[in-house]
Chain A
């Protein structure tokens, strides 16, 4: 055991530095998708140690394993062929034109099912029982990236999503072995085409570059040898199959080992590489705490991961309890991802999930559609989410969610409008007891931004209420201004 980095030691609340509503809200933002006022108060009372235990207390199971009813609506792909063999059967005896029409029907159904799966997942993020499990699932979706593009089967994307959920805080070695057998992944990174004598290097390369080690920790020869070890790892329908005839049984040399290595051997050797656990730990830290991490944090957190033989929970617990996590460097300093922004707004305003087409369009303009990351590196982070166009999309989306009467927006123009400019909202725009303009502004700022704001800006918001602090429409407009503030883009 080595010494723990001082910033990873547990934060201890004191009178000068109490675990207040700001810190409780911070924990709920990062380890979930934002807390309502009640949830923030509940977590504040629990204190950091108990709150982190509570957040990490979820079963290592998919949603279906937790509740057999909790599955996306796959009605649109009922009875569709699930493998090449079934597809051939279905095509038999059809004319070319019929086959074409049949394919188009499959594609339409599959797209609809993908939309349903997105809705199902976003709904779990917003209202599911285990926010941290969903947040981790989103993290892993950006890490072990697979995309729906190229008309990948919605069924396979859902199965992979459940794998990510099941393993979200499980054992990383089992996770890598699982994802290396995941049919959607095997398709996405072309391992289905990786055959003896005719290797396809795509999976082997990204496994090391993006999933486990980071660039520069291996040679081009390592990529070639690892690709040979993964030959024959393929999928048939929604099952993993090992195609013995396509597997290269020859001697490979990888990371100092020589022998008839297969994919699991390669994974075990990679995980033993000293760069692996700091790489994974550092990526978790950057995602949940902050990007500009101090030297040694990734190594120290990586050691915790390794000491636990790659069980993820101890490292996650340390991260969410650490001094670093509750430092000013972390709190309110992260640019919300578009999904965080939308789901957080839905939660904090107490809305229903908006209709899917509206959600998808808004998320697409902001640059984050579930199941459709831009490339194998996953989504960007931090300031990379922001440019002049995405900033407008973010403001407009939030204004719309806050009941914005979008001016001049005809059908199919506004970020979330779809000829249906008013969202169905349950939001009430008055605090329980109508107070002064100052009290009204403070109430909404603490509910939405959850941190104190600049005095000048507070005054602008107060002025916007004028003498109308009790009028719902006036308050709604003020709330629309709150969600159009740069501060609201951060959590």
Chain B
């Protein structure tokens, strides 16, 4: 932490020295540099993201995970009748109750369930479900179904509210970290720009003249008369590039340091995106970054055809990675600080299609994992016969789960972020 702040201050002091010669200070730097230059502001920046704080890890299952083959309602005859080609044999499942059971490859989650560290929220969805991947993903990520073109995500608005510091202060560039090629809408806010990276080794500038590179990315922007006259203006794409370059530079050293050669003893992360992603998250948690929310994704769930092979494999990869992550965190003694939440943009049709797959559907279960979880089954399972256009009717609004996570875990009033007060779901002990 100390290291990070001093790095940042050094960086900005250098920037400031160069600025002294600049007649026009771009609006974004005007704010950030002036704010950080005032020593009284530093603690305000640091405070909301203390490194001992609680952490949320979001796992996104992209493509529409088949909820009914993840948490299987094995005791319901309809399940077996409408899915003759893709149903699971009850003998292979891990039973949670007399009516539902986990996918055969989710064995590690059964252990967590038995330890009271897994909550399964059944039938999660939202009113007037949309069956487009993109629209439904936007809805889940923005938590603003009423907006046609949402511009911010629910985690992003949490950052804006809780991690941006006082007005005018520099937001903490570590507040959120996405592992993956593109920053999801969920993480996008108005003020805080979370980091996004795929591989830490590639996460730094490799040119020779780093000093001038920083100057070219930190100072100056096209002379803008309105800035010269001190009037506020809309940030331009160039401002956005400057800001991204600055955040990237500040964070790159830290992230390299904490992730390099991270090999926890006795923990085997599976190869592939999700295993590698969670390994990096564990490394950064261990490294003491001030990050409050990490975001990782596992894709490939759009199983329109020949679902079983692919879905079974994905479940296996997911479970292995999650198991390794929790065993790692326990070894670090950081597990108490971490809550993991999974979601997908929708579940799939109740009945299989003719291609041995399933088409886009609606409600599906969410998992919450960690020592802070109140383990068990939450909410009722949707009926397999009382359907809406062949799809499940949701029982729990996903924003209830978000609200609970925001209020009870991230200690932030949820109404500000979700626009209305949702009933909290009994998923956390805290």
Contact = CB atoms under 8 A, between A and B. Distances in A.
A269 interface: no
Contacts of A202: 304, 359
Give chain B's interface secondary structure class: loop
A387 B244 CA distance: 6
Given A205-B132, A386-B240, A455-B223, 14 more contacts: A333-B237, A374-B181, A382-B237, A389-B202, A392-B252, A454-B221, A454-B222, A456-B220, A457-B219, A457-B220, A464-B209, A484-B205, A489-B241, A490-B238
A415 B207 CA distance: 12
Given A198-B353, A392-B252, A413 B131 contact: no
A367 interface: yes
Interface stretch (B191-199, B315-323, B378-386): B191-199
B216 A485 contact: yes
Interface string B193-236: 10111110111111111001101110111110000000000001
Nearest to A487: B238
Contacts of B217: 484-486
A404 B208 contact: yes
Contact of A209 (B132, B198, B202, B207): B132
Interface of B: 21-22, 131-135, 148, 178, 181-183, 193, 195-199, 201-209, 212-213, 215-217, 219-223, 236-238, 240-242, 244-245, 247-248, 251-252, 304-305, 353-355, 357, 359-360, 389
Contacts of B353: 193, 198-200
Interface in A167-189: none
A406 interface: yes
Nearest to B213: A484
7 shortest interchain CB distances as A-B pairs: A198-B354, A388-B248, A486-B241, A193-B355, A387-B196, A389-B197, A456-B220
14 contacts: A193-B353, A220-B389, A365-B198, A377-B134, A388-B197, A388-B251, A389-B181, A389-B248, A396-B206, A404-B206, A404-B208, A457-B215, A477-B209, A481-B213
B216 A481 contact: yes
B23 to A, nearest CB: 9
A259 interface: no
B238 A190 contact: no
A388 B195 contact: yes
B132 A392 contact: no
A355 B219 CA distance: 35
A132 B209 CA distance: 36
Nearest to A402: B207
Greatest chain B CB density within 10 A among A389, A409, A463 is at A389
A457 B218 CA distance: 10
Residue from A382, A404, A456 whose CB has the most chain B CB atoms within 10 Å: A456
A391 B241 contact: yes
Nearest to A405: B208
Contacts of B248: 388-389, 391-392
Interface residues of A, number: 65
A388 B207 contact: no
Contacts of A75: none
A199 B220 CA distance: 58
Interface string A183-216: 0000000100101011111100100010000011
Interface string A380-406: 101110111111110110011000111
Nearest to A335: B237
Nearest to B238: A486
A137 interface: no
Contacts of A487: 238
Contacts of A406: 206
B19 to A, nearest CB: 9
Contacts of B193: 387-388
Nearest to A480: B207
Contact of B244 (A190, A391, A484): A391
Contacts of A384: 182-183
A2 interface: no
Residue of B132, B135, B204 ringed by the most chain A CB atoms within 10 A: B132
Nearest to A209: B132
Given A200-B354, A392-B252, A413 B207 contact: no
Contact of B208 (A200, A407, A490): A407
A220 B220 CA distance: 51
Contacts of B355: 190, 193, 198, 200
A485 B212 CA distance: 10
A10 B100 CA distance: 66
A460 B216 contact: yes
A464 B223 contact: no
B304 A200 contact: yes
A302 interface: no
B21 A456 contact: yes
B86 to A, nearest CB: 14
Contacts of B22: 456
Contacts of A456: 21-22, 219-220
